Amino acid sequence: MRKIASTFCCILMLCGCAEHDPILPGKRTPVFDTQKITILNTSIQNLPDKLADEKIEDCPYTQDSSNIIRDGDRKIFSGFPTNNAVASNQKPVCKSGYVYAGLTTGEVVKIAPKSKKIMWIADVFRKSNLTGGASIVDIVSPLVVKDGYVYACGLGDAFCRINTISGAKDWCIEISSAVPFILVNNVAFVTGTDNYLYAVNIKDGSVYWRCEIEKQVAPVYDNKVITVGKLKINAENGEVIK
């Protein structure tokens, strides 16, 4: 009985720490109760033929698997290492003077690099992962920062839209990904670790359609067609092009 009680207390402490008591300084937005995926099976209207040319800011900062971010030899952020990290070449993203990074501990962090101030930390993993022991929650898929939001998808069963100012999450849905996703107008095309390609409405997190794929690689968009490996998919309705 004592062992059971002790285990239960540890779980409560873990949950409480993740939701209310930030270990790192800065405002933390708690673990989101991710939405179960509901496939609408509807077509997407008004998709462009080509991706818009997005100006990508130069980002000279480096990041390692121990969650340390550097400006050359100067350390601007120190997270916590994890023994369960997935090998990746993740890099921070720069936008309007701030640095955004996805960590192996399942968080997105916003940093003011000159002062080293942590503006906010957002947990990006499904709530039940807290009790999973050695759960893998790395954010391996590169972040996308666009129009006042950070879009982040990690291996912790959560694809989230995060407000760049407050760090608050508008929505999170149960998708894991280890490869880059793309934004086309108001749609995110995300390759899931469950071998499905998802077309996500970035306004509310609803899913227009999903399509089974053969290989987990980054999707490519051209002329309203999504290419995933050798598979070509109609971007409007999710049907495989024969």
- pLDDT tens track for 25-40: 667 776 667 777 889 9
| Residue 6 confidence (pLDDT) above 50 | no
pLDDT at residue 134, rounded to an integer = 57
Q: Rounded to two decimals, what is the model's pTM?
A: 0.86
Least confident of 34-38, 72-76, 212-216: 34-38
Measuring CA to CA, how many Å separate 229 from each of 25, 116, 149, 178?
42, 40, 28, 15
Rounded to an integer, the average pLDDT of 189-210 is 97
pLDDT at residue 132, rounded to an integer = 57
d(CA 82, CA 139): 13
Q: How crowded is residue 180: how many other Cβ atoms within 10 Å of its Cβ?
A: 16
Rounded to an integer, the average pLDDT of 193-202 is 97
| Residue 9 confidence (pLDDT) above 80 | no
Least confident of 84-88, 166-170, 199-203: 84-88
Mean confidence (pLDDT) of the chain: 86
Q: How many residues does the chain have?
A: 242
Least confident of 35-39, 110-114, 123-127, 199-203: 35-39
Measuring CA to CA, how many Å separate 60 from each of 72, 74, 151, 169?
8, 12, 21, 27
Measuring CA to CA, how many Å separate 72 from each of 40, 69, 75, 76, 115?
47, 9, 8, 10, 15
| Residue 14 confidence (pLDDT) above 70 | no
